[in-house]
Amino acid sequence: MVKQSENIEPDAAEQHLDAIVIGAGFGGLYALYHLRKSGLSVKAFDGAGGVGGTWWWNRYPGASVDIPSAPFYAFTFSEELAREWDWTERQPGQPEVLAYLEYVADKFDLRRDIQLKTWISDARFDEKTGRWTLQTDSGQRVSAQFLICAAGTLSATNLPDIPGIADFGGECYHTGRWPHEPVDFAGKRVGVIGTGSSAVQAIPSIARSAAHLTVFQRTPQYCIPARNGPIDRNYLKQVQAEWKKHSDFMHTSLTGMPYPSVERSALDDTPEQRQEVYEALWVDGGFRVLFGGYNDLMTNKAANATLGEFVRGKIREQVRDPATANKLMPDYMLGTKRLILDEGYFETYNRDNVSLVDLRDDPIERIIGNAVVTASGEHTLDMLVLATGYDAITGTLLRLNPRGRDGVDLATTWRESFTTYLGMMIPGFPNFFLIHGPESPSVLHNMPLAGELQSDWIGDCIEHLRMNKFNTIEPAPGMEIEWRQSTDDAARETLFREGDSWYTGANIEGKHRQFVVHMGGKEYFEILDDVAHKDYRGFVLAQT
């Protein structure tokens, strides 16, 4: 036996594939489906114990989608799927979205090509063969001509660097790595660090069962009522019956979202008229408050301030104690951090078992045993929930840190800035494609739809290479500069890039301050099509 293994060629243990997909969430599942359907041998790897990506990990109480399920937060590639999957909620909770993705994996027989509980620990491009070789955390080696990274924009968790946190004496969970066993808050003193979307969803639910909840807030947030509820069955049936119409709307609208374009500036109206518009939108809830009333809330600071003031007024109405309300008052430009939808978040602070620590006045100094020590005193806790977010968009890619041409790794390539061409490929990394990469529309587009469109483009590109007998594709020198310009131009008129947010990398110490979302929306996908039609303009296609 030993002798035999000595004779094995170094790469004999490798599985050789046409394409490897990293990630089995929305993006990875469709990439696998699409590329396999195109006749390629494909395998997807995911570190999670099940399919679903972010919806497999984010099991914290209250986790749910923030755009309407039907028809928007779903795949568009299969009319049959759209007609047979019955959503029960307008903005479904995590279990329902996960069930949908599991259904998709089963319906399209994807599981046979997905290897779960497997982290990719090494990925490198071999210039001699023009292939990628990957190693998993268990030492398995696989190689493929094409590597598609669909590992998620919000999956590299950000853990706060608080002295003593590793030795916290109680239970400690990050919202994005929530345990699969039920977490019991009953009778416990729970602390939540952070007040982003995850915290705002979890806090009302935790407060209902914990003995006491202490929220540690660094930045007060604007929140808009989600107004979730059971989906109207008639509406659902109508969407299913008229699927083509809805799908076409998504594919042709600016961001694939249910927000009709409005032509009016907030500054065209009197304060009284604006109040009326905002009140009506507030009753409906959801992101329409930001996108459904006026067209300049994210392009004009004065217009933006009118909605900011309106929401601050709503916070004052919801929170009984004026001192607590003051601490909760956001003072940045609304929308420059991702706007949050809530279900009873502010009212939670009216409960006797909830207290708020304003870290700007009273910062955390360290953790000792079970106590979070702030400047003013100690908070003894049984459980700490870290709702501290993610190293967004680029973090997962950098943790993978693939090696491209000349053995240069991604961390080196991105030392000065995040560079891509079209948000689809990175200079020096042939045959390595990104789903929701930096400088693509990613988190400011309908993500399931954008992932589908990017996978379709990748599939077409691979077909083009094969038909024309090319082995590799990569950005031509300098195209990253052109694309940075396009990304900057698309965002220039907007306020999104002005905030201290994960959109700009400001939430991670030492990260480049760079707005990495391409705001082109539909136009971005037109550019992708145009590049493809022009024989992949800006790319180098080669035979070796």
Tell the smallest beta-carbon distance from residue 73 to ligand NAP (Å). Answer: 9
For residues 431 to 450, the per-residue mask of contacts with ligand NAP, x marking binding by CB under 6 A and - elsewhere, is: ------------x-------
Contact 446, 439 (CB under 8 A): no
Which tokens sit at 522? 């539909």
Closer of 357 and 458 to ligand NAP (Cβ): 357
Q: Which residue among 143, 214, 388, 454 contacts ligand NAP (CB under 6 A)? A: 388
Closer of 188 and 338 to ligand NAP (Cβ): 338
For residues 44 to 83, the per-residue mask of contacts with ligand NAP, x marking binding by CB under 6 A and - elsewhere, is: --------------------xxx-----------------
Residue number of the CB atom closest to ligand NAP: 196
**CA gap 398, 392 in Å, rounded:** 11
**CA gap 60, 405 in Å, rounded:** 41
Q: 28: closest CA among 3, 50, 9?
A: 50
**CA gap 503, 519 in Å, rounded:** 12
Closer of 360 and 537 to ligand NAP (Cβ): 360
Q: Which residue among 266, 387, 410, 450 contacts ligand NAP (CB under 6 A)? A: 387
Is 94 a residue that touches ligand NAP (CB under 6 A)?
A: no
Backbone φ and ψ for 378, nearest 5 degrees, come out as -115, 145
Is 502 a residue that touches ligand NAP (CB under 6 A)?
A: yes
Q: Which residue among 312, 327, 338, 445 contacts ligand NAP (CB under 6 A)? A: 338
For residues 99 to 138, the per-residue mask of contacts with ligand NAP, x marking binding by CB under 6 A and - elsewhere, is: ----------------------------------------
**DSSP letters for 96-119:** HHHHHHHHHHHHTT-GGGEE-S--
# residues contacting ligand NAP (CB under 6 A): 26
Is 474 a residue that touches ligand NAP (CB under 6 A)?
A: no
Is 507 a residue that touches ligand NAP (CB under 6 A)?
A: yes
3-state secondary structure of 297: coil
Sorted by sequence, the CB contacts under 8 Å of residue 96 that are 6+ apart come out as 69, 87, 88, 89
For residues 216 to 235, the per-residue mask of contacts with ligand NAP, x marking binding by CB under 6 A and - elsewhere, is: --xx----------------
Closer of 195 and 420 to ligand NAP (Cβ): 195
Strand ranges across the sheet with 383-386: 171-174, 383-386, 189-193, 212-217, 354-358
Tell the smallest beta-carbon distance from residue 160 to ligand NAP (Å). Answer: 3
**CA gap 92, 99 in Å, rounded:** 11
**CA gap 447, 29 in Å, rounded:** 13
Q: 71: closest CA among 449, 521, 525, 526?
A: 449
Is 359 a residue that touches ligand NAP (CB under 6 A)?
A: yes
Contact 353, 189 (CB under 8 A): no
Residues 163-222 that bind ligand NAP (CB under 6 A): 175, 193-199, 201, 218-219
Q: Can you give the binding site for ligand NAP, defined by CB under 6 A? A: 64-66, 154, 160, 175, 193-199, 201, 218-219, 338, 341, 359, 387-390, 443, 502, 507
